[in-house]
Amino acid sequence: MAMELSPRKPVLLVMYVAVFCVLTASAKKVPVQTIGPIFIFGDSTMDVGTNNLIDNCKARADHPYYGIDYPGSQATGRFSNGLNTADTIVQLLGGYDFSPLPYLALVNDSSNFTREILNGVNFASGGAGLAKATGKAFYGQVISMEEQVQQFKAVRGNITAFLGESKGDNLLQNSMYILSIGSNDIMEYVFTHPMTPEQFVVNLTNTYAIHLKNLYCKGARKFGIISIPPIGCCPIARSPPGSACSDEPNNLARACHASFESLLKNMSSTLKGFKYSVANTYNMTMSIITKPTDCMFSGFKDVKSACCGNLTTLGISECKKGAHLCKYRDDYLFWDGVHPTQKASKLAANAIVFSQDPDFVSPINFSSLRNA
């Protein structure tokens, strides 16, 4: 990212880092199934290189120390020291070593486009939101959720053209659609307050409904929704650094989860074949932030600070070569001022994919949804 992160500017996204005692990083991998691919939508917690390919985009992670623990210590555009949430979830769902490739990368390599889209596509863009304008004023060009759905429409057209309408539709209906988005919308609201909090939640939910219905109309049936975490607890939102979580974004995150869950219940009862799983990342994250010693498998020693980035009078500066870098990344919940470490993403994925606790994921987990 070219701009310094500060509490006065919206954040890309804090990840919902989920850890609870019954799950460990050694959870059994789901066997590969003869079912559809996985399509991923969202923001920086899911971006695996989209923003690298966008001109005039300031929300970038294509430089050290990003990727320091990725194979070959490569900065791939993931906002992590290694793998991110998209990678860790699809690994556990089975059939993937890493997230499907970014849509823009596949477009740039048209010779492999048709073959690769049958393995899934990642549309996520760091800084993006549910509203079309979210992120653009602060980060320049990013791919909004509306634009990501339009990209999926192009992918759908290529799949049905290649397989035929019937086989293509069957593949898409058996595929899984994972969405993690909304935090950037909240952070921009916190900085602008264009309406009441109640109206903001209603508007954001209505916007989410439009995107979900558009995906449904293009063949999507299995929706894995990762809701908004307590973004007021990320290092950059704590002012001064290390202080208490910020209440306003956290309250909005809780309200949005309740509203999104109600929307999904309604859609599942009114749209034929609509199935969903929603991960309550607010509860997941707070369970470890408020009581880190309760979960013996977490091993985090610091749940407030950023592993990478310098403390400034405004908060946490950008994570880049020459900035402070912690020695033991697995001790930290947060990689930079906003995003989780690779270890945190892996533990979160275990919760999202395998948990049976309705306080963390409901009405079924992602593994059950994948095999539904």
Active site amino acids: 44
Task: Say whether 122 sits in a helix, a strand or coil.
Answer: strand
Residue with tokens 């990083």: 25
The letter for the amino acid at 364 is I
Tokens for 327, please give them.
Answer: 């020695």
Contacts of 83 (CB under 8 A, 6+ apart): 70, 91, 98, 342, 345, 346
Q: Are 83 and 46 in contact (CB under 8 A)?
A: no
Degrees, nearest 5: CA angle 323-58-74 = 55
Burial of residue 209 (number of CB atoms within 10 Å: 0-12, 13-18, 19+): middle
Q: Are 300 and 347 in contact (CB under 8 A)?
A: no
Helix ranges (DSSP H) in the chain = 85-93, 103-108, 113-117, 136-139, 145-163, 165-173, 183-192, 197-217, 247-270, 281-290, 342-354, 366-370
Q: Are 21 and 161 in contact (CB under 8 A)?
A: no
DSSP 8-state class, residue 51: G
DSSP 8-state class, residue 308: B
